[in-house]
């Protein structure tokens, strides 16, 4: 065990320590061989040998240089000794170069991440820090012709990001406390600065840059209790993706009589990014299929939503599986979430007649976890008239069962078996997955709405039995992107297959056709809204007029071309 422990520590030691160990071992090998050769050569060969000649022999043998003054050997023992010295010497040298020296030299000569942007920028977006939220944000911003700069303090992270995003995104490595870092990213010319570090670091960064730039500063925090302090420091917006995530989870528990679009669900409190529209305006809406809904068990052909209401199902989720191209024979059930496009008034009528269910306002919900996400969900459920029982390890001034959400007895005490909804909102994906498994087992008809922090947890939560899962970092990225892109385009929906649904206003003063835009950009246009008209399923020959608003979906590169054409 001691030998294994020593070898393990040596293998995982820093490069400098491993090189020192090798040099000591190599020197010991030379000394031992020199002593042995000096001792036995006179006995084997019958000739005297000085210490210098012994050392010279060993070095010539180990380095494979060769020797002549001591040849020929008369005794086979001398030959065997020479062979052993040759083999061990070669092994030592060839082990040293690839295993120790090469990685060390690679580390020394490897290029450092960029310290500045390649040239001065203007009107760009600067993002401070990197996380899964930033990944989602960058992906959303890449539909527009915006220069994006990501600044990080960690050299390894900066190097990884630079290799991942180059040349679409500029990555700069620098200390946040150094003013030179911000000058090297042209902070004075930036249009927006987003700070995503921990609250203390965020406050320090904002205070350090606010006199260097007139850019809009957005602070992303875990706890909205820091809102007023960061605004005082200089932030124009202070956002918490947890608040929006909780509201979205709760809104999937009921079908509201008022149509709510996806971008309305994630908009900031008191901030209307895209406008509210009219009853005739096209809306993209999520419609969950609840237990007791008249639509459950029917096919899309039987529902005939386009023929009856002028509303089209663009995509849907079913049992955690995304279906990008719905077919008429597809049957929907209570694990289905429809994404429909149509006039607001028509969608409201459709929901009332085809999807409404009884028992919504008198139902019981269990909120597992009462952090920021759980509190937001609790408030949203209360505003819809749904009574909730909270489960958390800390006591709060609400109807609550204090205990572990992974304890079956605690869940039973919270009346999980008689509940209609369960919001799983703990800040730990593993806990959420296990809680979802338990809740589904205790109440098979329960509608479970869960939160995830990591993309890898989304599919696991669906397999555990969740009806709807929202990825917290993705929500945060979409909210921030909505603010930055509000004058360029609106991202209505981020699809799981890498595509996005966007809404773009026609800025050119000339008309074009749907077919021309689709051919030149590669997007699919699904709706057009203009003065006195709303069109879904537009044909190739349909015109796009000046000031029309067009809804299309595609991948980043195709959407970027679409935005340029519009």
Q: Say if CB 545 and CB 511 are below 8 A apart.
A: yes
Q: Which of 329, 355, 381 is the last residue of a domain?
A: 355
pLDDT above 90 as % of the chain: 27
pLDDT in tens, 168-220: 899 999 999 999 999 999 999 999 999 999 999 999 999 999 999 999 999 99
Domain residues for the domain of 22 are: 8-109
Residue 294 lies in a domain: yes
Which pLDDT score is estimated for 287? 84
Helix/strand/coil percent split, the chain, to 5 = 45, 20, 35
pLDDT attached to residue 247: 82
Q: Is residue 545 over pLDDT 80?
A: yes
Name the domain count of the chain. 5
Where residue 276 falls among pLDDT bands split at 50, 70, 90? very low
Same domain, 63 and 167: no
More confident residue, 258 or 296: 296
223, 177: one domain:
yes
Q: What are residue 323's DSSP bridge partners?
A: 316
**Strands 237-239 vs 364-368: parallel, antiparallel or unpaired:** unpaired
Task: Select from 184, 211, 239 the last residue of a domain.
Answer: 239
Asked if residue 175 and residue 133 are part of one domain, the reply reads yes
Q: Are residues 266 and 330 in the same domain?
A: yes
| pLDDT recorded at residue 265 | 44
**Mean pLDDT in residue range 551-566:** 90
| 432 within some domain | yes
Does any domain span residue 114?
A: no
Does residue 281 share a domain with residue 218?
no
Q: What DSSP string runs through 404-435?
A: -TT-HHHHHHTTGGG-SEEEE--S-HHHHHHH
**Do 462 and 550 fall into the same domain?**
no
Q: Averaged over 429-445, what is the pLDDT?
A: 93
The average pLDDT across 269-290 equals 62
Least confident of 61-65, 249-253, 319-323: 61-65
Contact 249, 423 (CB under 8 A): yes
The CATH number of residue 80's host domain is 1.10.287.70
Residue 552 belongs to some domain of the structure? yes
**The pLDDT value given to residue 19:** 65
> pTM above 0.85?
no
End-to-end Cα separation, the chain, in angstroms = 70
| CATH code, domain carrying 554 | 3.30.70.1450
Question: In this structure, are residues 563 and 143 in contact, taking their beta carbons and an 8 Å threshold?
Answer: yes
Residues 98 and 172 placed together within one structural domain of the fold: no
Q: Does one domain contain both 329 and 394?
A: no
Count Cβ neighbours within 10 Å for each residue of 41-75 and write b for 16 or more, e otherwise.
Answer: beebbeeebeeebbbbbbbbbbeeeeeeebeeeee
Would you say residue 296 has pLDDT above 70?
A: yes
Asked if residue 264 belongs to a domain, the reply is yes
- The pLDDT of residue 64: 64
Shared domain check, 138 and 79: no
Residue pair 566/502 in contact (Cβ under 8 Å)? The answer is no
pLDDT, position 98: 59
**Position 62 in a domain:** yes
3-state class (DSSP) for residue 342: strand
């Amino acid at each position: 065990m001691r030998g294994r422990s020593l070898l393990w520590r040596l293998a995982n030691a820093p490069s400098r320590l491993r090189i020192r160990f090798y040099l000591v071992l190599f020197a010991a090998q030379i000394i031992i061989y020199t002593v042995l050769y000096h001792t036995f050569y006179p006995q084997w060969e019958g000739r005297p040998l000085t210490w210098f000649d012994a050392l010279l022999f060993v070095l010539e043998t180990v380095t494979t240089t060769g020797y002549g003054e001591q040849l020929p050997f008369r005794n086979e023992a001398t030959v065997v000794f020479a062979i052993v010295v040759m083999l061990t010497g070669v092994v030592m040298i060839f082990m040293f170069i690839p295993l120790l020296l090469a990685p060390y030299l690679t580390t020394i000569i490897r290029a450092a991440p960029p310290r500045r942007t390649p040239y001065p920028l203007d009107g760009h977006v600067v993002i401070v820090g990197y996380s899964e939220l930033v990944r989602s944000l960058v992906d959303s911003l890449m539909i527009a012709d915006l220069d994006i700069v990501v600044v990080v303090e960690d050299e390894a992270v900066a190097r990884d990001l630079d290799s991942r995003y180059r040349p679409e995104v500029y990555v700069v490595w620098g200390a946040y406390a150094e003013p030179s870092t911000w000058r090297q990213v042209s902070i004075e010319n930036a249009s927006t600065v987003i700070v995503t570090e921990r609250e203390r670091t965020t406050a320090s960064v904002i205070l350090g840059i606010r006199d260097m730039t007139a850019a809009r500063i957005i602070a992303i925090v875990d706890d909205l209790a820091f809102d007023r302090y960061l605004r005082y420091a200089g932030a124009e917006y202070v956002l918490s993706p947890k608040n929006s995530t909780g509201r979205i989870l709760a809104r999937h528990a009921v079908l509201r009589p008022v149509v709510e679009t996806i971008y309305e669900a994630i908009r900031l409190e008191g901030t209307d990014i895209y406008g509210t529209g009219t009853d005739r305006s096209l809306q993209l809406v999520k419609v969950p299929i609840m237990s007791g809904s008249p639509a459950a068990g029917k096919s899309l052909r039987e529902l005939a939503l386009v023929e009856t209401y002028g509303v089209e199902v663009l995509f849907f989720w079913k049992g955690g599986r995304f279906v990008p191209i719905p077919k008429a024979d597809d049957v929907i059930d209570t694990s289905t979430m429809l994404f429909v496009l149509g006039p607001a008034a028509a969608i409201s009528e459709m929901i009332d007649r085809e999807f409404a269910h009884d028992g919504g306002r008198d139902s019981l919900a269990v909120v597992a976890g009462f952090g920021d996400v759980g509190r937001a969900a609790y408030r949203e459920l209360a505003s819809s008239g749904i009574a909730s029982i909270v489960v958390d390890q800390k006591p709060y001034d609400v109807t609550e069962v204090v205990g572990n959400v992974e304890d079956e007895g605690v869940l039973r005490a919270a009346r999980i078996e008689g509940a209609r909804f369960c919001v799983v909102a703990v800040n730990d994906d593993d806990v959420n997955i296990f809680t979802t498994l338990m809740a589904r087992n205790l109440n098979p008809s329960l509608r479970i709405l869960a939160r995830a922090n990591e993309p890898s947890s989304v599919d696991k939560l669906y397999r555990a039995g969740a009806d709807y899962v929202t990825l917290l970092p993705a929500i945060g990225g979409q909210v921030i992107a909505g603010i930055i892109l509000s004058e360029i385009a609106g991202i209505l929906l981020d699809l799981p297959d890498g595509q996005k649904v966007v809404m773009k206003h026609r800025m050119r003063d000339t008309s074009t056709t749907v077919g021309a835009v689709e051919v030149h950009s590669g997007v699919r246009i699904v709706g057009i809204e203009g003065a006195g008209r709303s069109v879904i399923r537009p044909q190739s020959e349909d015109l796009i007029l000046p000031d029309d608003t067009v809804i299309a979906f595609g991948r980043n590169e195709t959407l970027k071309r679409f935005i340029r054409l519009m």
